Every structure is written in structure tokens, then in C-alpha cells.
Amino acid sequence: MESQVRGGTRWKRFALVMVPSVAATAAIGVALAQGALAASFSVSGQSFKVRADYIHGEGFSQYGAIDAGKTLDGKDTIHPVAVSAFTDARIQNMCQSVVTPNIPLLGSVTLTLTAGNSDDKQKQVTAHNLYIDVEDLGADTAVFNGLDIGVQAGSMKNPPMKGGDEKSNPYGFGQQATSVDLYGVKQTAWATTAGTFTLPGLSMKLSAGSNPCY
């Protein structure tokens, strides 16, 4: 009986963390637009991976912050992150994945979301006022236009530091660019917020085992 109770609790946890992040992003966008929610929240106990063939961003800024949340076993924790922000972004061939471990009778389960797999710009993922709390970021090539390094984080305007981000130091280090092109992107992140997030060709699937995007 004890085993069944413990297993049921873990399954509920699995159901909660497997809510598609695109739905969460849409809900956050609506709340931000209505002024009902500051763009700051407790992150889940799991990071997620994102891979993209190409990202073009108009209006780019980046600064350090701290994301607070809980581990999967409920302990308080914090995550140092670099917040990458785009006024407008276009993403080609995006893959996002999150792996939930230790599911009773299943082991690990992976949620994978893909979208924008097209050479046609009109069929690629687009986002407005996009903020990504990144733990690790790599790219085959990065091209920055109109780059300023060492900017006071709180003075950046395009885009500015997100509202409600009390864990960020407005006098800390920041950098900004008028536009950026990133090729072969791989990143691990703890949170994404956006005013608008459009995903043409959206596909979501669950698979047994650990099968991240990279």
C-alpha cells in the first residue's frame, strides 16, 4: 500500500511538469498583456533543452539574474542564469525537450516539442518580447550587429530588463546589440517568457527513456 501511495504522488508530479511549455508561455503572455503578472516566477525543478538551426533576433540584450525555485524533492534552490532577451525573434527548426526521471513502472519519460521546420520565413517560429533564462548556451556561429559590451544592465532599453525581476542587479554587467544571428544553437534553460509566441507546424510527443533534443 505504501508503494502505491508513493507511486501515485510521483505520477501527479509527472503530470504537472509535463504541461506543455507552449501553453504556459501563452498564458503568461496574456497575463503580461493585461498587466496582471510581473514577468518573474518560481521556476520548476527541471531545466529544459532547446536546439535550433538558426535564430535571428532584432533588439538583443543580455544580463545576469538568479532564478529561485524548488528541486523535484521540494527543497529550496537557486539557479544563476544569463537572461537573453529579444524584442523580436525568428527561429528555424526549433526543438525543445524536458526529461522527467524516475517515473514508476516507466523510468524516464521525455517530452519533445518541435516547430518551425521550414526554409520559408513565414513558417518559422516567431516571438515578441522573448526572455530566456539560460544556464548554458552554445552556437556554431554568432554574429552581433551594433554590439555594446559592458552596459549597465538597468539602462538597456531594447529590450529592457523584464519587469518584476528583483533578483537582477540594475547596476550589473550587461550587453546589447541592434540585431543578432545565431547558427547551430544549443542551450539549457530554466524559464522562457514571451508576449507572443507563434509555432507553425507544432508537434509534441512523449517517449520512454531520456531522449533530449541534443
Report whether pLDDT(119) > 60.
yes
Question: What confidence score (pLDDT) does residue 6 get?
Answer: 41
Q: What are phi and psi of 68, to 5 degrees?
A: -105, 150
Report whether pLDDT(11) > 90.
no
Whether 28 and 35 have beta carbons less than 8 Å apart is answered as no
Whether 108 and 82 have beta carbons less than 8 Å apart is answered as no
For residue 131, what are the contacts with CB-CB under 8 A and spacing of at least 6? 39, 83, 84, 85, 159, 162, 191, 192, 193, 194
d(CA 70, CA 183): 33
User: pLDDT band at 167, cuts 50/70/90?
Assistant: low
Higher model confidence: residue 41 or residue 97? 97
Higher model confidence: residue 162 or residue 51? 51
d(CA 49, CA 99): 9
Task: State the average pLDDT over residues 39-53.
Answer: 84
Q: What is the CA radius of gyration of the chain?
A: 18
Ordered alpha helix ranges (H), 45-159:
none
Buried b vs exposed e over 35-56: b needs ≥16 C-beta within 10 Å? eebebbeebbbebbbbbbbbbb
Domain ranges of the chain: 2-208
Question: What confidence score (pLDDT) does residue 133 get?
Answer: 94
Q: Which segments of the chain are extended strands (E)? A: 48-70, 76-103, 107-115, 125-145, 148-152, 173-198, 203-208
Task: State the average pLDDT over residues 184-200.
Answer: 95
d(CA 1, CA 143): 58
With the CA atoms of 115, 49, 26 and 155 taken in that order, what torsion angle do they form, in degrees rounded to the nearest 10?
A: -120
d(CA 139, CA 26): 27
Tell me which residue has cell 497575463.
31
The chain-wide mean pLDDT, for the chain, equals: 83
Higher model confidence: residue 156 or residue 22? 156
How much is the pTM?
0.79
User: pLDDT band at 112, cuts 50/70/90?
Assistant: very high
Question: What confidence score (pLDDT) does residue 43 get?
Answer: 84
Question: What confidence score (pLDDT) does residue 106 get?
Answer: 87
For residue 87, give the DSSP letter: E
Take residue 77 and report the three cell numbers written for it. Answer: 534552490
